[in-house]
Amino acid sequence: TAIIVALRCGRAPKEIINFFKFPKATVYSIAKSFKELEDIEEGFLTPERKTPDRSQVRKRSADFIDRLQTMINDVTIQV
C-alpha cells in the first residue's frame, strides 16, 4: 500500500525503491499495474492488437509452392 500511496503522490518508481528499499521488480510491477488501472479509469485504454484469424488466412497449395520454386530456380540459373 505504501507503493500505491507514493505513486498517487506522483513519486517515480526509482524514488520509491530508494526510499523504502523495496525490490525493483516489486515496485515496477505494482507501478505498471497502477498505471494500467489509472488508464482504464480515465478511459485511455488502448485496444489489444488483433491477431489474424487462422481460418481466414490463405493456405498455399503444394502446386503453388512447386511453381514458385521453379520460377526462382529459373531466375537464379539466368543470373
Does residue 36 lie within any of the structural domains?
A: yes
Does residue 57 lie within any of the structural domains?
A: no
Q: Are 28 and 3 in contact (CB under 8 A)?
A: no
Does residue 30 lie within any of the structural domains?
A: yes
Does residue 34 lie within any of the structural domains?
A: yes
- Kindly tell me the burial class for residue 6, based on how many C-beta atoms sit within 10 Å of its own C-beta (0-12, 13-18, 19 or more): buried
Tally of domains in the chain: 1
If pLDDT is split at 50, 70 and 90, which confidence band does 27 have? Answer: very high
Does residue 7 lie within any of the structural domains?
A: yes
Q: Which domain holds residue 37?
A: 2-42
Does residue 48 lie within any of the structural domains?
A: no
If pLDDT is split at 50, 70 and 90, which confidence band does 43 have? Answer: low
pLDDT at position 57: 59
As a whole number, mean pLDDT of residues 25-53 equals 75
Does residue 72 lie within any of the structural domains?
A: no
Q: Is the pTM of this model over 0.95?
A: no
Q: What is the residue whose three cell numbers read 482504464? A: 40
